[in-house]
Chain A
Amino acid sequence: MTHEIARKALRLNREAGFGLLVFITLIVSWVMSLGAGSAILLGDVYHDWALDRQETMRVYLPPDVNAEAVSELKGQIDVLQGVIRTDRMDAAAVRAALEPYVVNVSAMPLPVVLDIQMSETLDRESLNKLILQNFPTAEIDESKPLLTMMARLVRSVQTLVLSSTLAMVALMALLMSVTVRTSLRAHKDTIRLLVSLGAKDATVVAMVVRHVATRLVGGWVAASALSAAMVAISMALWPAVAAAVSVRVGLGIVLAPAVMVTVALITTRLTARSLLEHSHV
């Protein structure tokens, strides 16, 4: 293990580039942790919503339909494989469902609405066929196109977040490489002296990596704490956020910047070793 004097000999903390490192790491880590947390949160919210949408279907029948025919259809639907239960919505519930979209809903005749709970094993085409055979004018609330559109939207947002994260990691790696090169070249006389006194490449590299690691980890911890505080405040202010935030979101917030820190450390190690081996310092 290298002695403290050896570490003190290489004063990288005087380098402005390394001084900026904490600040840059904090900003990048913060953006990455919020990005990753948001992407996971969005995915989770979409997943729950999609499950809900996939498991229910509404059938709107004309107001004047025969009640017996409705009961017969309900019985036929109930026996289909994948149907959990079928309920006829009462008038109050229908009125409440239509109220936001229809003016003076109480003055109009209400449609008959069947609320169907189902599982993934249901053959939707058979169901649709059965309904239209009985009531050709029935309106079926099919959620599939909406689900597909939402899934695409969510995937696009997640892809954007992932691409931005990768771009930030690449940028950080580039920044690290430039900072290490500049700093080691600025300290080349000291490094040459250390080498002439018997320092191995691994010793010098370890000193540089240790120096960088303390700064990166500092930035990472500060950014994670900042993001966690923001999430905690959001959870306190908006109950919907509190309900949606899961352990996965928390892990994303903490671990996403860890990828950046790891990549930056690997870049530092490779750059320092390469510079020493090719005697550019």
Chain B
Amino acid sequence: MITFDDVGFCYPHAAGDAVHDINLTLADGSFHFLTGASGAGKTTVFRMLHLDLLPTKGRLLVMGRNVGSLSRDERADMRRKIGVVFQDFRLLPHLTVRENVALPLALAGEITPGQYRAVDDMLAWVGLGKKKDQIASSLSGGEMQRVAVARAVVNKPALLIADEPTGNVDDAMGKRIMHLLTELHKHGTTVLVATHDPRLTEAYPYPLLEMKSGKMTQRIRKGGDAS
């Protein structure tokens, strides 16, 4: 499903490659953690996976398609099948919680009553059912993170990439979010979670992808479902 074929990326005017020599295949329906120190290239990998950046070297295949050869419209179509949780949440502060979560559906066209119910169910799941009509700017950091998670999963994406999805929530909510991601994974969604939290990677024995100085290595652990 996701194939990195000697992938590298160099930002304009940068001295060296942000990431380089990545050769890896992530199977459909797999679950991976992505770890690495700050500046190791995790964000660049994330941006390439949600087609915000295109590799400057090599070939990246997402859902079997070479992202470098896609038109802008084709990339938009593909992004609708990718859920993203940004580390900085990226909610629209003037929209309500419900509107933020429904935004990916709204961009695809009219929202059906069934989809609205799914939005409400998702908000109830992340514990924000009673705050769905509040504007996003009135939420706490943890609540914003939960809205960001709900928005990423509301359209049942084929691929979910999440940057520190439990970074700003308490343990109980962290477990709840991880449970949601695990459930999605069980239903066939490919999940990639970036985290610095060793407790999370210990609690869930999925394979680890480690970024170090722009290179990615895979570590398969006992009990994990390696691709």
Contact = CB atoms under 8 A, between A and B. Distances in A.
A175 interface: no
A29 B84 CA distance: 46
A198 B106 contact: no
A132 B150 CA distance: 101
Interface in A1-41: 1-6, 8-9, 11
A194 B103 CA distance: 8
A192 B51 CA distance: 12
Contacts of A5: 95, 99, 102-103, 106, 111
Contact of A1 (B92, B103, B109): B109
Interface stretch (B71-79, B137-145, B174-182): B71-79
A199 B80 CA distance: 8
Nearest to B73: A200
Interface string A200-211: 111100000000
A9 B92 contact: yes
A193 B88 CA distance: 12
Contacts of A189: 90
B104 A198 contact: yes
Nearest to B155: A198
Contacts of B105: 3
Interface secondary structure of B, over-half rule: helix
A201 B76 contact: yes
B79 A196 contact: yes
Given A5-B95, A190-B92, A196 B106 contact: no
A8 B104 contact: no
A2 B109 contact: yes
A203 B110 CA distance: 13
Interface secondary structure of A, over-half rule: helix
Interface residues of A, number: 25
A191 to B, nearest CB: 11
A9 B95 contact: yes
Contacts of B90: 189, 193, 196
Nearest to A202: B73
A196 B104 CA distance: 9
A197 B103 contact: yes
A195 interface: yes
A198 B72 contact: no
Given A198-B80, A198-B108, A193 B92 contact: yes
Interface string A215-236: 0000000000000000000000
Interface string B108-124: 11110000000000000
Contacts of A6: 103, 106-107
A277 interface: yes
12 contacts: A5-B103, A5-B111, A6-B103, A9-B99, A9-B103, A189-B90, A196-B84, A197-B104, A197-B151, A198-B77, A198-B108, A200-B77
Interface of A: 1-6, 8-9, 11, 189-190, 192-203, 276-277
Given A5-B106, A199-B107, 15 more contacts: A2-B107, A3-B107, A5-B95, A5-B99, A5-B103, A6-B103, A9-B92, A9-B95, A9-B103, A9-B106, A193-B90, A196-B52, A198-B76, A198-B107, A200-B77
